[in-house]
C-alpha cells in the first residue's frame, strides 16, 4: 500500500527559506522588501543571514515572506 504524496500540490515543497529570501532580495532589493514587509531584518543592516535568523523564529513574518514569494512565482507563470 502506498501513501499519497501530500506535498504534490505544494509550490513551496523542496524550496528552502534561504532560497525564498534570496529570490525576493534579487527581485525587490532590501528597500523593496522593507516596503512590502516592514520588519527590522529588512530595514536595519539587512543580510540573508540575519533575515533567516529572524524569519525562522517568527512564524507570522515567515508566512508573509512565503506569500510574497508565491505571488512572484504565480506572476511568472
Domains and CATH numbers, the chain: 17-76 (1.10.720.30)
The confidence score (pLDDT) of residue 35 equals 97
Task: Give the Cβ contact number of residue 66 at 10 Å.
Answer: 17
In terms of Cβ atoms closer than 10 Å to its own Cβ (0-12, 13-18, 19+), residue 34 is: middle
Cell numbers at 28, concatenated: 525587490
DSSP assignment of 7-47, as one string? TTT-TTTT--HHHHHHHHHHHHHHHHHHHHS--HHHHSS--
Q: How confident is the model at residue 9, as a pLDDT?
A: 78
Residue-wise pLDDT tens digits, 12-70: 888 999 999 999 999 999 999 999 999 999 999 999 999 999 999 999 999 999 999 99
Predicted model pTM: 0.86
Amino acid at each position: 500500500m502506498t501513501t499519497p504524496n501530500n506535498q504534490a500540490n505544494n509550490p513551496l515543497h523542496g524550496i528552502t527559506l534561504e532560497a525564498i529570501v534570496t529570490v525576493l532580495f534579487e527581485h525587490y532589493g532590501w528597500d523593496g522588501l522593507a516596503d512590502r514587509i516592514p520588519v527590522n531584518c529588512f530595514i536595519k543592516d539587512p543580510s540573508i543571514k540575519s533575515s533567516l535568523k529572524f524569519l525562522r523564529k517568527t512564524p507570522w513574518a515567515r508566512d508573509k515572506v512565503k506569500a510574497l514569494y508565491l505571488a512572484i512565482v504565480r506572476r511568472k507563470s
